[in-house]
Amino acid sequence: MSKDRRRQESVYGGVKKMGEDHIYMGALQRVSVAIIEIGIFFGVCAGLSGSLDFVLDSNSPFNLLFVSSAVFIILGKYIAEPFFTSPMGSISNSIAALLIIFSIQDKASFILYWPLLVFFALIFFSSLVVLLLNNSSRFERLKMVLLTISTRFGRSSALYSGIYLLGSVSLLHARPFALTIMLVLWAIAVCTPMIENIVGALFSLREKTLLVQTRV
């Protein structure tokens, strides 16, 4: 079997290694962490916006930031992305990203709106072509190029980070305190396992307590 073919099979049928830590979390633990993180984003957005109207107000900058963070957490970190396979995962991620960016009302003030839209569309069509050509022995080089694009850039952390970070800078540049809070919050959610560790410690403590109780 050729090296390229083995690589294709490992990507089509394999689970992403980046999220293996999330896979080993129990289903209840993953859902608990997701709910807590979404709740934190919701609370911060509500506090900074001054009301809960941002939930239904598509013109509010916090609507975009909350939706993109919630989708990232649900489709990304804990529910779907731990079992990410390319190109199917990239297709679902790019479709969700396109729906979010299409919903932006003030496109003129959104930094790099059109390049971001083209980028998401490129991920979608690259993944779709790879999927359609999966069983074909032709266009091997083209498939590998498109597969690389799909695999490297089709993950939720890449797509939704683009929307969130550019949206934060575009919509909150006149509110430096709010901008700083939202960027720090995203950095904590994406780059650190802080919430996971806290929830993991609580679940571990609960298991130890139950174990002690069964021995008594």
Interval 57-78: pLDDT, tens: 988 999 999 999 998 888 776 6
Mean pLDDT of 189-193: 80
Q: Does residue 9 have a pLDDT over 80?
A: no
Which residue, chain included where needed, has tokens 């305190």? 177
Q: pTM of this prediction?
A: 0.76
Do 134 and 197 touch, CB atoms closer than 8 A? no
Q: What are phi and psi of 84, to 5 degrees?
A: -60, 130
pLDDT band at 89 (very low <50, low <70, confident <90, very high): confident
pLDDT score at 8:
45
Contact 203, 29 (CB under 8 A): yes
Calculate what percentage of the chain has a pLDDT beyond 90.
37
Average pLDDT, integer, range 82-111: 84
- Whether 163 has a pLDDT exceeding 60, the answer reads yes
Distance CA 207, CA 210 (A): 5
Average the pLDDT over each of 1-5, 39-43, 101-105 and give the range with the smallest value.
1-5
Q: Is the pLDDT of residue 6 over 80?
A: no
Q: What percent of the chain has pLDDT over 70?
A: 83
Give the residue-averaged pLDDT of 46-66: 92
DSSP letters of the chain? Answer: --HHHHHHHHHHHPPPSTTHHHHTS-HHHHHHHHHHHHHHHHHHHHHHHTSSGGGT-TTSHHHHHHHHHHHIIIIIIISSGGG--TTHHHHHHHHHHHHHHHT-S-TTTSTTHHHHHHHHHHHHHHHHHHHHTTT-SS-HHHHHHHHHHHHHH-SHHHHHHHHHHHHHHHHHTT-HHHHHHHHHHHHHHHH--HHHHHHHHHHHHHHHHHHHHHH-
pLDDT at position 84 is 60
pLDDT of residue 101: 92
Query: HSE (CB half, 13 Å, CA atoms) of 27?
Result: 0
What's the confidence (pLDDT) of residue 152?
85
Look up residue 194 and give its amino acid. M
